[in-house]
Amino acid sequence: MIEFEHKVRVRYAEADRMGYVYYGNYAVYFEVARVEMLRSLGLPYKLLEDKGIILPVSEFSIQYKKPAFYDDVLTIKTVIRKRPSVRIYFDYETFNEKGELLNTASVTLVFVSKETGKPINPTEEFNKVFTPYFQN
């Protein structure tokens, strides 16, 4: 299992008329956390794309518990619980500064060849990074 935390401050434009973070912005927050997690592992998205691999989202699910508000600093906890294969699964929890759980979510991405548009297995380089975390 791999865990990673990323902080994000809610910008004014991300709040709706009620002052709540607009629900669609969480997908962007999760993407930022996911990209930073992979970068921290030495796997920046740009490297994958340069190798002809794209990672489209195949599933997205979120459960809202409490709202976040303008200027809140949110902690996005990102977890990979299973060794990536053709798919890579991310779980998320969002917390406010008080440590309150605001939502939980999951996102599934598929490794796809940019050239053929068909699903592929991750590269050996990608697999090597995950080996220490998923040896069982």
pLDDT at 126: 87
In this structure, how many other beta carbons lie within 10 angstroms of the beta carbon of residue 26? 22
Half-sphere exposure of 120 (CA within 13 A, CB side): 18
- Asked if pLDDT for residue 136 goes beyond 70, the answer is no
Mean pLDDT across the stretch 45-70? Answer: 95
Q: Comparing 24-33, 46-55, 62-71, 103-112, which segment has the lowest mean pLDDT?
A: 46-55
Beta-bridge partners for 107? 60, 90
Q: Is 130 helix (H, G, I), strand (E, B) or coil?
A: helix
Q: Where are the domains of the chain?
A: 2-131
Average pLDDT on 80-104 reads 97
Task: Please determine, looking at this structure, whether the domain spanning 2-131 carries the CATH number 3.10.129.10.
Answer: yes
Q: Bridge partners of 61? A: 106
Contact residues for 130 (Cβ-Cβ < 8 A; gap 6+): 2, 80, 83, 84
Residue 101's pLDDT band (cuts 50, 70, 90): very high
Task: Report, in angstroms and rounded to the nearest whole number, the Rg of the chain calculated over CA atoms.
Answer: 16
In this model, does residue 45 exceed pLDDT 80?
yes
d(CA 7, CA 78): 11
Q: What is the pLDDT of residue 76?
A: 98
Residues facing 87 on adjacent strands? 110
The pLDDT mean for the chain works out to 95
d(CA 34, CA 125) in angstroms, rounded, equals 18
